[in-house]
Structure 1
């Protein structure tokens, strides 16, 4: 009876359950019960320096700094096989039967299998042949290493002699490791008996030295793999472990009583430690393994191994992991009638944005070695309600990637710097755009006086950096007064439209229009009236020009080509309407009421589909060399007529501004990942993080998600929920409350920090309306208007809002 009751209780707590898994009741874990997910369902775990990714099957890799220049363990991109990873084999020493602690690489038949992806950790629980294993993997919050905590329990009813054997391949430095036969010559491993560890050095890092001589510097780290107890044997050579012509699923090491003990410079660098475990019936034993990389002259590998490679240290560190992420996740919480919105807003979107986009910078579908100028600026908004000082740091970092002329690097490597000087028309403008949200949240005008360098010499205040970006954009106008496209705008795939600096981008015009409106008051505040007047003047002419030349009758054009042809027009056979110029005409205020409503009606008619707002319609089926590589994508994939989630989040924003809360919620719900849980084999992506895109209606895989985790959509989807649907957002005067919700919602609550105070907001919608605030009381006193007092007092304040 109790078993049935427990199952019933468990069932009630499983949210958005399907054949592969479910969310726990508080949304903080996604539990996978079937390892054969439609694609790897992964976790990207980082402390801002050291990172790894791990799939539900146990695949993945580790890196430090970034995964392109400073990989630690080896991986090649393969989302079908998912065959690379850091594995642990379990073996019955009597029978010789073996399996792996995660499903890969052995893929043994199991009695039970479960993976819990959590915030900063993943736990693999499995039972095979009466032996239960629980493998918990995580990154230390304040050290360059990961911990693999393995607890083995004997549920078989008889004494068992077992061993646990780790295995992975080293790949220190640049990745992917395509020239393995070259790179392995420079690696040197040794076994340290005093540390129960294998250490690795590499005498080559693919950087030039101080004189520009290539292949003339060493990898400046000591990598290590250690065990919490003395191994019975070890090996550091792939050939002896796997066996010539062998496979990781059936390696030679599982046939051999002990590992070969090979180290040195003449093998193929790998790492394996074997620990023997004898268990009486019902007994458990825990062993801890660590993997890490200590930087020469700054850190000591031996000290890190001793500090972290023990059962007690692992438990302490895991507790710190929970505290570390709570500081970043739990300063803001919503409670609405929509559990999908609650889960994503409270937990996963913040985690995805920070751990993957800003810190890890890599996931299964894309490996990045750097920061995108516009990308991580946008992502950094996720810090506004928890640690705005981290957004401040990001802004200063990006300002220093600008040239004196005002243009910037499109992206740059995070190790040693360097990147392409962009001819893209929107990159440079994201600095003043993001400054607006930062100043509204913090009122930290001192940031504008911070001095940061230019890439080509000299330095200036952050205000001057923003000003030069805007002034540079003023030099990029067509004779008609429309901003030029350049190499492309936000849509990278429009890579041939304006390469000769003749094609126009109406979206850039809208984007610039909005920036001029927000930055002119900043200039006025600083006494730079001449520049403020210039911005107001350009803004006025822009509005007129964009409406004169950009309006196509029912919607706005996306662009014109270098040859003057329209893009995103009813006159086009394909690519007749683009999403961005419609929604940003509303967001920016370029469109008047009538045209704004018409543009959004066109979005609803042509672009808002089953799985979100398409980026354009209809998809290109013919290559257009005068438009760009967007036309070379398969029709319906990614930017070519798919739902590009980043832009689809902005449609939510536009619908709220257009006074269409029900449409805003529809556009939001269609791209909120848990809502795709009912068709996991059609969607294929993880239900707990945003995808970069979903296939459009012309694709045979309509609705299929792709490029999950490493996408700029995560921060924006979080912001859409809080700022525009719940309608609680920072303004210079204080915190504005302007809900735009489904009329059937009876209430919602929202706790968030703002300028040092905590606001406990409860919104009552007994009136059953979608918009409109009837009254607001703060700490029992009714206030005028809907902007909350700016307390800045470090205290909690109760806010009661009555809609009507």
Structure 2
């Protein structure tokens, strides 16, 4: 099989579904975030990582303390030669032995570690079951030497069990209760932290039972960290590897860990398979012993691995593209979909950031990934977010997913993403019934989703300046601008653009509901927004970004630092709020100041001194994240805007700069995983220009997918029709796009015989020329031919 985008550390397989790491000394940990929507794990390429259920902040199962330099916490598996006493680990960490082979494959829903030390080959598959709160570690060992080998295999990790206040470890470990039975360690915790029925904190049990099990008879075990590691020792040189057996200690009086040891003998060329499991069963609903027995065997592990592969491919391959751009194909077909679903919506955490819940606008935007794969899951996410709106129309900025609760937002754009994503969902699915779904408000009462959306818009209408521009409040999309408008006098120009697009798109739904007075009000506001933006926000070459409470402009030529902001230009184009001349000049300014080799910077020049009147965006080191770096979420919108402007060269530069596989060419400069999007990369002022960071847990994954399919390839479902309007490099001969609508498959064949970049000359549906392509949900296969010219 061929190797794609090969670097000194690894490569994509030919089909793009796997990334193979061949050198464990990557610039940063390169991880996989694996989730079934309930139980999740992170697996780093070295073998480190951790497990949780629900969310990683409130229901952590195993322990990890964030350290991207050491990458030194995980669930570890030691292999020891009982004749020589030499030992190593099934993954590179923690022992980091010299090896004959080391290779890690991160796949869609699994990670496989292949290691060979002292002529013992090991292959360890790590994955989460499709439906149950169980992870499987399937270890295969083979004796490649010419003599009989006696080995033992020993697992080791630390428990957390519930909330993760690691600074209070000495307190929390007092409540952990381990028990060894059969081939399994079971563990409870007599502290659930949440209040009991009388409101008494720290007077409840953790409501799960965790377990760790193995498929072979247990030679020895321990539940005590000190007896495994040894005082003043570490996981690389644990005392457990210097003694014949573990101490079988399992009581409440130490620091809780889990370690199971099995012994085996391998003749030359002989293989053996061992299955370890880790899981957590909810008390009263699930049986930990039954779950352990169900999955802790070789046959079931093999079967479940195939189930996992099938589950993910069945989901992701509901939409596939084939273009001359391999990087676009790999990311669009598999990795950004997988990242958005497994990492953002289901696991809700990454290695760079741990989350205990959902962001209101964040996972709403992420849910767009389901439109082409499983619209019901998008609908579920939209309705879930609506439940976190107040009757007044504002929302929780974020909320805990276990027992709820979160801050009532003073952010001015959060609430508006509900109607925006709702109309996008209807546009793609034609599911108007979602508007009639009855959803409770967080502070009591209930209303239809339409009423929720209306209240969000009406709340925003109450937040306008005398000049007809929306107020920024504590912040808008950019959380870091959290001091600009706290007195509710500062204005947001980006929010004006966003509202303009939202109202244009939502007004037809308002009219459909017969709410004509509200529709008229929205139309009036449209005109006010357009008039005010063009009168007060144009700075001669670009649009300003905002005004402060005191009236000072931000993102203006008058500013020494931060004189141009990306979103104020891209969304002027996306929203169509201004005339063509201003769009052209604004995007020329983007090219002049913001569009760089690795995508479009969020602002220029970076702030070099903290500004207490702007916010914490100015407190980042210059060139990092929002302060003059490439903030990938916003950088995807630059691709969208350049596509609308038909500026193909800039569009493609903006896209390739943030398309991770292309960073394989300068991977030591990029640092981050080349198979998932990063939240940001450093701007030119940083000494690490181009360095990626905050991978996995970033909203940019879904948007990188959407700008590729909707604005580069130009295939956009639009209320029962396919709008087809590609904007591609002229040297592309064409491309293929396949997508299911329900059980109906559409194959779009785009041909470019005249080497143009855009312009549809002819459309054929199943061989018949048409003006528009209807989406026929008839269970058949349809072919659309598109001739550019």
Normalised by the length of structure 2, the TM-score is 0.99
Partner of 2:134: 145
Q: 1:790 Cα deviation (Å)?
A: 2.0
1:576 paired residue number: 563
Matched, 1:799 2:784: yes
- Paired with 2:210 and 2:78, the residues of 1 have a C-alpha distance of 22
1:678 aligns to what SS in structure 2?
helix
Aligned residue among 627, 630, 639 for 1:652: 639
Contact 1:569 1:577 (8 Å CA) reproduced? yes
Structure 1 residue corresponding to 2:690, chosen from 681, 703, 710:
703
Cα RMSD between the aligned structures?
0.7
Q: Residue by residue, what CA displacement relative to the aligned partner does 1:673-697 show, whole Å, maximum 9, x if unpaired?
A: 0000011111000000000000000
CA offsets 1:499-556 (integer angstroms, 9 cap, x no match):
1101110111111111111111101001001111110110011100011111011000
**How much has 1:754 moved relative to structure 2?**
2.6
Aligned residue number for residue 789 of structure 1: 774
Determine helix, strand or coil for the equivalent of 2:167. Answer: coil
> Contact (CA 8 Å) 1:75, 1:176: kept in 2 or not?
no
Cα separation, 2, equivalents of 1:638 and 1:369: 22
Alignment of 1:548-559 (within 5 A): 548-559=535-546
Q: Does 1:269 align with 2:256?
A: yes
Q: Distance in 1 between matches of 2:666 and 2:373?
A: 34
Offset at residue 177 of structure 1 (A) = 2.0
Task: Report how far residue 755 of structure 1 moved.
Answer: 4.9
**Within 2, Cα distance between the matches of 1:794 and 1:175?**
49
Q: Work out the CA distance in 1 between the residues paired with 2:776 and 2:344.
A: 33
Separation in structure 2 between the aligned mates of residue 697 and residue 58 of structure 1, nearest angstrom: 34
1:18 equivalenced with 2:7 (yes/no): yes
1:4 paired residue number: none
- SS of the aligned residue for 2:314 comes to helix
In the comparison of the two structures, how many residue pairs are matched? 789
Q: Gaps (5+ residues) in structure 1?
A: 1-9
SS in structure 1 at match of 2:218: coil
* Equivalent residue number for residue 150 of structure 2: 161
SS of residue paired to 1:482: coil
Match of 1:527 among 494, 511, 514: 514
CA drift at 1:603 = 0.6
The corresponding residue for 1:37 is 26
Counterpart-to-counterpart distance in 2, 1:601 and 1:209: 61
Q: Is 2:599 aligned against 1:612?
A: yes
Shift of 1:660: 1.4
Query: Aligned to 1:518, which of 505, 511, 522?
Result: 505
Q: Which runs of 4+ in 1 moved over 6 A?
A: none
Q: How does 1:289-688 map to 2 (within 5 A)?
A: 289-688=276-675
Distance (whole Å) between structure 1 residues aligned to residue 91 and residue 331 of structure 2: 27
Residue 723 of structure 2 is matched in structure 1 by 736
State the alpha-carbon separation in 2 of the partners of residues 210 and 518 from structure 1.
47
Kindly provide the CA deviation profile for residues 547-571 of structure 1, in whole angstroms up to 9, marking residues without a partner as x.
Answer: 1111011000100001110000000
TM-score by length of 1: 0.98
Kept in 1: contact 2:471–2:492 (CA 8 A): yes
Higher alpha-carbon deviation: 660-669 or 610-619: 660-669
Partner secondary structure for residue 316 of structure 1? helix
Specify the alignment match of 2:58 in structure 1. Answer: 69
Q: How far apart are the structure 1 equivalents of 2:135 and 2:663? A: 32
What is residue 240 of structure 2 aligned with on the other side? 253
How far apart are 1:662 and its partner, in Å? Answer: 2.5
Whole-angstrom CA distance in 1 between matches of 2:488 and 2:172: 43
1:177 to 166, 169, 194: 166
Per the TM alignment, residue 756 of structure 1 is displaced from its structure 2 partner at its CA by 4.1
Residues 30-58 of structure 1: per-residue CA shift (max 9 Å, x gap): 00000010000000000000000010001
> For residues 667 and 152 of structure 2, what CA distance do their matches in structure 1 show?
37
- 1:74 touches 1:171 (CA, 8 Å); kept in 2? yes
The equivalent residue for 1:243 is 230
Distance in structure 2 (CA, Å) of the matches to 1:519 and 1:394: 19
Shift of 1:217: 1.1
* Partner Cα distance (1:330, 1:537) in 2: 44
Q: How far off is 1:664 after superposition? A: 1.2
Determine the C-alpha separation between the residues in 2 that align with 1:668 and 1:362: 25
Q: In structure 2, how many angstroms separate the alpha carbons of the residues matched to 1:34 and 1:790?
A: 47
Tell whether the 8 Å contact from 2:109 to 2:308 is kept in structure 1 after alignment.
Answer: yes
Structure 2: how far apart are the matches of 1:116 and 1:229?
26
Shift of 1:206: 1.9
Structure-1 separation of matches of 2:297 and 2:225: 27
Structure 1 position 176, deviation (Å): 4.1
Q: Is the 8 A contact 1:727 1:737 kept in 2?
A: yes
SS at match of 1:315: helix
